[in-house]
Amino acid sequence: MELSNAEEQLMQILWRKETAYMKELLEAYPDPKPALTTVATLLKRMQDKNFVDYIQKGRSREYFPKVSKKKYFSKQMNGMIKNFFNDSTAQFASFFTTESDLSEKELRELRELIDRQLKNK
């Protein structure tokens, strides 16, 4: 299941904070800040999607992510590779290395990462 742009923005805040109350989430938004009801609605939708949960502490709720940023990003990237690159990581790598403005240093670092992964396999 995917997050909308607004949900993803809120999730980024929650991943950064790890746990937060509604007031802390609102304060973390850049200006113009959304309405409290908007954030509450987003949290409810994200809870329904099983991305967020909370612990009731008195009259307040302490929210926390149920999905790690790494797991979400990995799923998004795998979906992009499947949908845009015919499920071919080679096509993705080719596009990424030719269409992004990677410096020679960054390309060498990328090669080193791949070489390390090959050694570990």
Q: Does 40 share its domain with 28? A: yes
Q: What is the pLDDT of residues 26-79, one digit of tens each?
A: 999 999 999 999 999 999 999 999 999 999 999 999 999 999 999 999 998 888
Domain boundary among 18, 34, 65: 65
Spell out the residues 6+ positions from residue 12 whose beta carbon is closer than 8 angstroms to its own: 69
CB atoms within 10 A of CB 121: 4
Q: Domain holding 51: CATH number?
A: 1.10.10.10
State pTM to two decimals. Answer: 0.78
Q: Does 31 share its domain with 78? A: no
Q: What is the pLDDT of residue 32?
A: 94
- What are residue 55's phi and psi, to 5 degrees? -115, 125
Q: Does 75 share its domain with 106? A: yes
CA distance 15 to 9: 10
Number of structural domains (the chain) is: 2
Q: Which domain holds residue 10?
A: 5-65
Q: What is the pLDDT of residues 82-102, one digit of tens each?
A: 988 998 888 888 888 888 888
Q: What is the pLDDT of residue 2?
A: 87
